[in-house]
A and B are shown apart, each in its own frame.
Chain A
Amino acid sequence: MLDFDWQFFLEVLIGGLLSGVMYSLVALGFVLVYKTSGVLNFAQGAMLLFAALTFVSLVEKGIPFALALAITFGVMVAIGIAIERVVLRPLTNRPPMTLFMATLGLSYILEGAAQLIWGTQVHGLDLGIDDIPFEVGGVLISQFDLFAASVAAVLVLLLSIFFRYTRIGLAFRAVADDQFAALAVGLRLPWIWATVWAVAGLVALVAGLLWGARLGVQFSLSLVVLKALPVLVLGGFDSIPGAIVGGLLIGATEKLAEVYIGEYFGGGIESWFAYVVALAFLLIRPSGIFGQKLVERV
């Protein structure tokens, strides 16, 4: 393979890794909720759409960027808390699959409401980052992708600090470890859950803005969950490092496959390729990348 174009390969790889970070960002919202309440929140994508749509519409109405951001954040927190109150609390102690189906219903409500309120047309979202590629050692890198990846990285860092060094973070980890024990020592679970849902709303907002800037803000934005799910299967539903590494892995393999083997399939394989990667990986290592092997107690 003398004529293999390494530079091009690197370019594809880096592009893949950068979009992988975007997948991780969406996956992160899932992990936060899953870790504390054991809910696989399918509505994360709808929340993302809702956030992006609200923000864009506010900006289009002439509200300044920062204010629009603050308002949207407020709305997302309110939604998070409302979800906890109205949907999850009545379903306490029900099987995880029931909760999952409830979030399916929730995603329908949020998608419907977002578009009923703000309309169904496509909105452009300009975050002020020009998408002019720049060159590093002969490799072209998208400036926007790099920006998005950095924002995602900063968010992950902030969340880690939040959960490691604040009281609520500590409580969060206690709940994630053992709900019953946490309850026994007097942590107020509903309050923690509400906080977690609010944080999930924040993650949805950030992810919504970044994805919205790339794809345009429209209904299909909520489908980015479908990109995050294989990442979660790969990295484990309850692992933040898993979400990050899983995202990078899926992003990279997906781009490489699209470029190098996509043509043999007639293209368009990205709709399912990530799932196949995740499944193949799980067949070899059933507990995922970072998941420890748990032995079921009987």
Chain B
Amino acid sequence: MTIATLEAIPTSYTPRWLTPVLLLGIAYLIIPLVGTSYLFEAILLPFLALSLAGVGLNILTGYAGQVSLGSAAFLAVGAFAAYNFNLRIDGLPILGSIFLSGVVAAAIGIVFGLPSLRLRGFYLAVSTLAAQFFVQWALTKFSWFSNNSASGVIDAPPLSIAGVEFNSAVGRYLFSLTIVAVLTFLAYRLVLSQTGRNFIAVRDNETAARIIGVPVLKTKLIAFGVSSFVIGIAGVLWAFAYLRTVEPAGFNLDRSFQILFIIIIGGLASIRGAFFGAALLVVTPLILSRVGSFLLGDFFDSGVLDMSQRIVLGGLIILFLILEPDGLVSFWDRIRKRTTTRLLRQ
């Protein structure tokens, strides 16, 4: 019953579950048949992992209003924790490792969320950088985490559940898709619950929330924990399903900002927004490199691509903040509303 209250006015007359179910139908039944390996490897796998990370960060930053600049740290924690669980506990199924890695990320997230009990706003945002630098340092410094490999590189274990292998591009896609779908659904349930209302209450007016009896401290720590759990598992997908080989240096500040940009562009406090934002951020560089090399030829080397990518990304952020502060989601909803009213009028 609260489902209907999240968005002000129902924007369409289709039942709420219809779109997700249709999308999942396409994702499970059609895409695996028609998709090329380029589509899976270069687009869908990073898209799924980043979307999930965006969902996680959105819980913390979009809903609970605690800005975090250290998301990549929790991606890394997830990836390395899952690697170690898988390596060191014999017979633990891969899903078990993944779940436990989320728990580890959540625990570390709660520790780094403790300053939020005293700090607000920019002070908190800056303090989340501590997680970013500490985790990256620890993973590089202590080679135990990477089973003594050079510069902390880890290789993903084979993915199989109950004897079924998921190591092909399509397999890893289906593996990621399933985990992302389940966690997204649970995140959706969470933000519509009492705890989800508490998140927004704390974000919109912390003093009022405390006065009416919202357990502010607990709410913040839940947000940090749940968010880190989800981001941690996104990290596992990033490492195990997408890249297959990762090192701590890959989980740098730029990655943290990337996830923050995903939710700004997609839409803060929107579960769907993370998917919109991730899609844009995954596809833009690909388009940019095509267009760039088409227009500029050889001059457009990887360095130039890198730099122009930075410029475009920065420009996108500023443009969205100025023109579409509620992100692609609200843009999309406006378009959809306009077309449905036009259709209804006819």
Nearest-CB residue, chain B, relative to A110: B314
| B207 interface neighbour in A106, A282, A296, Cβ under 8 Å | A296
Give a binary string over B305-332; 1 marks a CB under 8 Å from any A CB, 0 the rest.
0011111011111100110010000000
Contacts of A266 in B (CB 8 A): 141-142
Nearest-CB residue, chain B, relative to A236: B123
Instruction: Tell whether, in the assembled complex, residue B130 and residue A272 are in contact, meaning their CB atoms are under 8 Å apart.
Output: yes
Contacts of A72 in B (CB 8 A): none
Chain A interface main SS type: helix
Contacts of B188 in A (CB 8 A): none
Tally of contact residues, A, Cβ under 8 A: 46
Give a binary string over A265-277; 1 marks a CB under 8 Å from any B CB, 0 the rest.
1111101100110
Bound Cα distance A271, B73 (Å): 14
Q: Does A244 contact B (CB under 8 A)?
A: no
| A109 interface neighbour in B253, B261, B310, Cβ under 8 Å | B310
Q: Which of A172-180, A184-192, A225-233 contacts B (4 or more CB under 8 A)?
A: A225-233
| A275 interface neighbour in B127, B307, B310, B313, Cβ under 8 Å | B127
Instruction: Tell whether, in the assembled complex, residue A101 and residue B322 are in contact, meaning their CB atoms are under 8 Å apart.
Output: no
Give a binary string over A33-57; 1 marks a CB under 8 Å from any B CB, 0 the rest.
0000000100000000000000000
Contacts of A1 in B (CB 8 A): none
Bound Cα distance A97, B123 (Å): 11
Contacts of A98 in B (CB 8 A): 321, 325
Chain B's interface size range is 35 or more
| B119 interface neighbour in A96, A272, A286, Cβ under 8 Å | A286
17 further A-B contacts with Cβ under 8 Å, apart from A104-B314, A111-B310, are A87-B322, A98-B325, A100-B125, A101-B260, A101-B264, A101-B317, A104-B260, A105-B314, A105-B315, A108-B310, A108-B313, A112-B314, A226-B253, A229-B126, A232-B126, A237-B123, A267-B141
Nearest-CB residue, chain B, relative to A271: B133
Instruction: Tell whether, in the assembled complex, residue B133 and residue A233 are in contact, meaning their CB atoms are under 8 Å apart.
Output: no
Bound Cα distance A104, B321 (Å): 11
Nearest-CB residue, chain A, relative to B134: A272
Bound Cα distance A91, B323 (Å): 10
Bound Cα distance A226, B261 (Å): 19
Bound Cα distance A145, B253 (Å): 29
Within the complex, the shortest CB–CB distance from B244 to chain A, in Å, comes to 27
Nearest-CB residue, chain A, relative to B318: A105
In the A-B complex, the 10 residue pairs with the smallest Cβ-Cβ separation, listed nearest first, are A108-B314, A105-B317, A112-B310, A109-B314, A275-B130, A112-B311, A272-B133, A105-B314, A116-B307, A105-B318
Select the residue from A87, A94, A109, A278 with max chain B CB neighbours within 10 A.
A109
Within the complex, the shortest CB–CB distance from A121 to chain B, in Å, comes to 10
Nearest-CB residue, chain A, relative to B132: A272
Show 27 A/B contacts (Cβ-Cβ < 8 Å), sorted by A. A87-B318, A96-B122, A108-B311, A110-B314, A111-B307, A111-B310, A112-B311, A112-B314, A113-B311, A115-B307, A116-B304, A116-B308, A120-B303, A120-B307, A232-B126, A233-B127, A237-B123, A266-B141, A266-B142, A268-B140, A271-B134, A272-B130, A272-B133, A276-B134, A279-B127, A282-B127, A296-B207
